[in-house]
Amino acid sequence: MANENSASPNYLKALTIGIWQENPTFRLLIGMCPPLAVTTAVKPALTMGLSVIFVLVCSNLVVSMMRNLLKPHLRIIMFTLAIATFVTIADLYLRAFQAEMSEVLGPYVPLIIVNCIIIFRAEVCASKSNVIISILDGIGTGVGFTIALCILAGIREILATGRFFNISVMPSGFVPWAAMQMPVGAFVTLGLLLGLSSLLTKEKAS
Amino acid sequence: MSKIKFFIEQSWLLLVSSFFFGLLIATANSAWSPRIEQNKKDKLANLMKGLITNALNFEPVIEGIEVAGEKGKKQITSVYKGISDDGTTAGFAFIASGTGFADKIELVIAVDPKCEKFYGCKVLSANETPGFGDKIKENYFSNQFQNAPVGKFALSKVGDPLEIDNKIVAISGATVTSTAMVNIFNAYIEQIKEQLQQKGLIGNGK
């Protein structure tokens, strides 16, 4: 990870590292609750992804700004305080302006507080890097997480309903797979995608 | 004195941040809470209008009454009166809740002005199993309550769902959710009818 100790901070790397190389879902396997719980359709997955991007960017910004003032034994409590604040704001915003989506997501928006992706980026990057790097890292990691959610949700939505964003995409004789809307569908799809990502990484390495 | 100095040195950032973050949440809450409240009222009004179709508007007639739900668990609810364009009572609606398979089920139940038959029910909130329990939101199940005489319902595993009587045909594969629906109706209706009679809103030629 590029940080202020490096000779010259690599902004591009900070922005792109979370998309594939350190993708929280496919490469690091952290914050796995939303990929399993809110991926029955693309719309809620996208809303969850955007909420996580907002929280990641804001918490990284705040943690980075106060990084020189943080006492080691108080840093986790400070991270949690910042994360909880921005998650509460995101939750209030959704309840006010996206009421339907807020109901679909249920408790999973408030649960972003305990999502390890946020605290992980605060600890690994924001508490050691300057503000620009921290913001870029938040955007990159958030986008990587959102892409993973949308891929999972896209596959599940198409197979479970034959539709994608309410547009019919499957041939007329297609029989919807009800299991894809259930937890088993999430586990199977995630497992196959993790296998595929490992395969791609191995091929790249070889 | 040195203890106070040590305490302030260690915690000043936490205290200042707590104040700042609290202020941020309070600002967001005060700005958006009227809209959040309005969203809740709109949803309830839409559901009630969908049930009592000839009602122009609704007014609460009994607020904050205590009703013994399933297993005697006390629940607080309110009864709303639907008023038609000529000012007469078009029906009554109330919120009823009970424990489903996965989570709490909240319903809006409507009855006619004499509380002799049900106008039907709509799901206010439920997190039942997709593909099974969530079929309570579908018309083929909820229509069984429409125009049914006010009284106790019984659950049946076989039968014709189109037949309107006190037998409710369970959703295949979702017996727990179906039972919960019937229990909610049975737990509330007698108590709500009693409250309406006590307040003089039904009976005595009304």
End-to-end CA, chain A: 23
pLDDT at B204: 63
- In this prediction, residues B40-66 reach a mean pLDDT of 90
- State the average pLDDT for chain A: 89
At residue B66 the predicted structure's pLDDT band, cuts being 50, 70 and 90, is confident
Which range (A100-104, A111-115, B52-56, B127-131) has the least confidence?
B127-131
> How far apart are alpha carbons B95 and A114 in whole angstroms?
33
- Nearest Cα of chain B lies from the Cα of A47 at a distance, in angstroms, of 18
* Predicted local distance difference test score (pLDDT) of residue A74: 86
Q: Where is mean pLDDT largest: A137-146, B126-135, B143-152?
A: A137-146
Mean of the per-residue pLDDT values of chain B:
88
For residue B53 the two structure tokens come to 């179709």
The pLDDT value given to residue A133: 93
Would you state the pLDDT for residue A107?
A: 81
Could you tell me what percent of chain A has a pLDDT over 70?
Answer: 94
Q: Do A88 and B127 touch (CB under 8 A)?
A: no
Answer whether A92 sits within 8 Å of B36, measured CB to CB.
Answer: yes
Q: What pLDDT, on the 0 to 100 scale, is given for residue A2?
A: 46
- Taking CB atoms and an 8 Å limit, are A93 and B28 in contact across chains? yes
A63 contact B CB<8A: no
Residue B46: CB atoms within 10 Å: 12
The pLDDT value recorded for residue B68 is: 85
> Closest Cα to residue B131, out of B180, B173, B176?
B173
Mean of pLDDT values over A166-170: 85
> What's the gap in Å between the CA of A71 and the closest CA on chain B?
8
How much is the pLDDT for B206? 55
Q: Within a domain: residue A155?
A: yes
Of the listed ranges A102-116, B86-100, B124-138, the least confidently predicted one is: B124-138
Residues of A in contact with B25 (CB under 8 A): 85, 88-89, 92
Whole-Å CA distances, B131 to A40, B172, B175: 12, 10, 13
The pLDDT of B161-180, averaged and rounded, is 88
Q: What pLDDT, in 10s, does the model give residues A60-102?
A: 999 999 988 888 888 899 999 999 999 999 999 999 999 989 9
C-beta atoms surrounding A171 within 10 Å: 7
Q: How far, in Å, CA of B164 to CA of B182, rounded? A: 14
Q: Which of A64, A67, A73, A89 is the best residue to mutate to test the B interface, defined by the most B CB atoms within 10 Å of its own CB? A: A89
Q: What is the pTM of this model?
A: 0.78
pLDDT value of residue B38: 92
Q: Which domain, by its residues, includes A67?
A: 11-205
Q: Which residues of A touch B135 (CB under 8 A)?
A: none
Please, what is the angle between helix A183-205 and helix A131-161, to 10°? 120
The β-bridge relationship of strands B167-169 and A167-168 is: unpaired
As a whole number of Å, the end-to-end CA separation of chain B is: 75
When pLDDT is averaged across residues B5-15 and rounded to a whole number, the result is 86
A113 interfaces chain B, CB cutoff of 8 Å: no
Q: How many domains does chain A have?
A: 1
Predicted confidence at residue B144, as pLDDT, reads 92
**CA distance, residue B174 to nearest chain A CA (Å):** 14
pLDDT in tens, B71-87: 778 888 999 999 998 88
Tell whether A1 is covered by a domain. Answer: no
List C-alpha distances in Å: B92 to B48, B105, B127: 9, 20, 26
B117 secondary structure, DSSP code: B
Q: Give residue-wise pLDDT tens across range B100-129.
A: 887 889 999 999 998 889 999 999 888 787
CA distance B62 to chain A (A): 27
Whether A4 is covered by a domain: the verdict is: no
Q: Which element (helix H / strand E) includes A77?
A: helix A75-97
Answer yes or no: are the C-beta atoms of A149 and A43 closer than 8 Å: no
